[in-house]
């Protein structure tokens, strides 16, 4: 396929499949309830009923958002007897992503930080970088 202009060259670089994959990942992070669940799971494995107790959300809310997080592969589930235990799929990498978001927020004039647990994972990911 011949490329006639530089503009076209730049347009064909966009890969719709990859773009959709990124969008789906960010969709997993694009909800305050899901972010709260992710922050809480950074403290360790939980069952649905634990998350209901610890976060104060309705069970249907927790279940709905956990399925979405599983679908985005941000969370994994471990069956044990009649219980299912949920945890972060990649706590260190998620911490690094949150750290990048935090840096972007700061650079664009908003100061915000997510929970201490995710910060701890973030610090593990970015060794040697001082945080303030
Ligand atoms: Zn808890």
Asked whether the beta carbons of 47 and 84 are under 8 A apart, the reply is: yes
Q: What are the tens digits of pLDDT across the range 31-72?
A: 999 999 999 999 999 999 999 999 999 999 999 999 999 999
Counting the structural domains of the chain, the total is: 2
Q: What are the tens digits of pLDDT across the range 14-28?
A: 889 999 999 999 999
Residue 77 has pLDDT above 90, yes or no: yes
Q: What is the predicted pLDDT for the residue at 128?
A: 40
How many whole angstroms from 19 Cα to the centroid of ligand 1?
Answer: 34
Examine the domain organization and report whether 41 and 59 are in the same domain.
yes
Q: Which residues of 63-97 are buried (b: 16+ CB within 10 A; e: fewer)?
A: eebbebbeebebbebeeeeeeeebebbebeebbbb
Examine the domain organization and report whether 63 and 77 are in the same domain.
yes
Instruction: Tell me how far apart the alpha carbons of residues 117 and 79 are, in angstroms, rounded to a whole number.
Output: 24
How many whole angstroms from 59 Cα to the centroid of ligand 1?
Answer: 14
pLDDT confidence band for 127 (50 / 70 / 90): very low
Q: Which residue range is the domain that position 50 belongs to?
A: 28-89
How many whole angstroms from 50 Cα to the centroid of ligand 1?
Answer: 6
Examine the domain organization and report whether 94 and 131 are in the same domain.
yes
Q: What is the predicted pLDDT for the residue at 115?
A: 64
CATH assignment of the domain containing 50: 1.10.10.10
How many whole angstroms from 54 Cα to the centroid of ligand 1?
Answer: 5
Sign of the Cα torsion 114, 118, 121, 125 reads: negative
> How many CB atoms are closer than 10 A to CB 123?
15
How many whole angstroms from 18 Cα to the centroid of ligand 1?
Answer: 34
């Amino acid at each position: 396929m011949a490329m006639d202009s530089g503009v076209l060259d730049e347009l064909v670089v966009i890969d719709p499949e990859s773009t959709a994959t990124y969008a789906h990942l960010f969709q997993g992070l694009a909800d305050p309830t899901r972010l709260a669940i992710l922050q809480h799971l950074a403290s360790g494995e939980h069952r649905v009923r634990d998350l209901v107790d610890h976060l104060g959300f309705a069970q249907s809310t927790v279940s709905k958002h956990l399925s979405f997080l599983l679908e985005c592969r941000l969370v994994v589930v471990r069956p044990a007897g009649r219980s299912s235990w949920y945890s972060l799929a990649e706590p260190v990498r998620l911490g690094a992503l949150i750290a990048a978001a935090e840096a972007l927020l700061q650079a664009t004039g908003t100061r915000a930080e997510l929970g201490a647990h995710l910060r701890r994972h973030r610090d593990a990911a970015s060794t040697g970088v001082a945080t303030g």
